[in-house]
Amino acid sequence: MGKIKLGLLLLLMTLVGTPMTGYGMQLSESELYARSACLMDADSGRVLYSKNSEQKLPMASTTKIMTCILALEDGRMDDLVTVSAYAASQPKVHMGAKTGEQFYLQDLLYALMLNSDNDAAVMIAEQVGGSVEGFAEKMNLKARELGCDDTYFITPNGLDAENKNGIHSTTAKDLARILRYCIMESPKKAEFLAITQMPAYTFWNYSKTQIYQCTNHNAFLGMMDGALTGKTGFTGNAGYCYVGALQWEGKTLIVSLLACGWPNNRGYKWEDTRKLMTYGLGNYEYRDVFEQKELGRIAVLNGRQQGTTIDEVATTSLEYGSDVEQMHLSLLLRKDEQITVHYQLPPQLEAPVRKGQQIGVAQYFLGKELLQEYPIYAGEQVDVRDYYWCLEQIGAAYCA
Which position among 36, 53, 61, 169 bears the catalytic label?
A: 61
DSSP 8-state code for residue 170: B
What amino acid occupies position 344? Q
Residue 1 has pLDDT above 80, yes or no: no
Catalytic (active site) residue 330? no
Which position among 116, 138, 142, 169 bears the catalytic label?
A: 116
Q: How far is CA 360 from the centre of its chain?
A: 28
**Band of pLDDT at residue 321, cut at 50, 70 and 90:** confident
The terminus-to-terminus CA distance of the chain in angstroms comes to 103
The predicted-structure confidence for 9-68, as pLDDT tens digits, reads as follows: 334 334 444 333 344 467 989 899 999 999 999 999 999 999 999 999 999 999 999 999
What is the C-alpha to C-alpha distance for residues 60 and 242, in angstroms, rounded to an integer? 9
The predicted-structure confidence for 218-239, as pLDDT tens digits, reads as follows: 999 999 999 999 999 999 999 9
* CA distances (Å), origin 283, targets 160, 250, 336: 37, 14, 10
Residue 397 has pLDDT above 90, yes or no: no
The predicted-structure confidence for 146-158, as pLDDT tens digits, reads as follows: 999 999 999 999 9
Catalytic (active site) residue 89? no
pLDDT score for 63: 98
What is the pTM (predicted TM-score) of this model? 0.86
pLDDT score for 15: 42
Q: Return the CATH number of the domain spanning residue range 29-284.
A: 3.40.710.10
Q: Residues 310-328: what's their mean pLDDT?
A: 85
State the Cα angle at 255 between 107 and 158, rounded to 5°.
45
Residue 2 has pLDDT above 60, yes or no: no
Q: Smallest Cα–Cα separation from 75: which of 132, 130, 143, 156?
A: 130
Residue 7 has pLDDT above 60, yes or no: no
Catalytic (active site) residue 256? no
CATH label, 297-399, candidates 3.30.70.250, 3.40.50.10860, 1.10.150.120, 2.60.410.10: 2.60.410.10
The predicted-structure confidence for 298-317, as pLDDT tens digits, reads as follows: 999 998 888 777 778 999 99
More confident residue, 328 or 73: 73
SS3 label, residue 259: coil
The predicted-structure confidence for 330-378, as pLDDT tens digits, reads as follows: 999 999 999 999 999 999 999 999 999 999 999 999 999 999 999 999 9
* CA distances (Å), origin 296, targets 22, 130, 195, 314: 40, 59, 53, 14
SS3 label, residue 212: strand
The predicted-structure confidence for 96-146, as pLDDT tens digits, reads as follows: 999 999 999 999 999 999 999 999 999 999 999 999 999 999 999 999 999
The kind and range of the H/E element at 370 are strand 369-378
The predicted-structure confidence for 249-268, as pLDDT tens digits, reads as follows: 999 999 999 999 999 999 99
Residue 391 has pLDDT above 50, yes or no: yes
Domain chopping of the chain, boundaries = 29-284, 297-399
What is the C-alpha to C-alpha distance for residues 293 and 327, in angstroms, rounded to an integer? 11
Pairing mode of beta strands 297-301, 349-350: parallel
Which position among 36, 51, 64, 142 bears the catalytic label?
A: 64
The kind and range of the H/E element at 234 are strand 227-235
Q: Which long-range contacts (CB under 8 A, 24 or more apart) does 106-110 make?
A: 106/77, 106/78, 107/201, 107/203, 107/212, 108/71, 108/81, 109/68, 109/71, 109/72, 109/77, 109/195, 110/195, 110/198, 110/201, 110/203, 110/214
pLDDT score for 312: 86
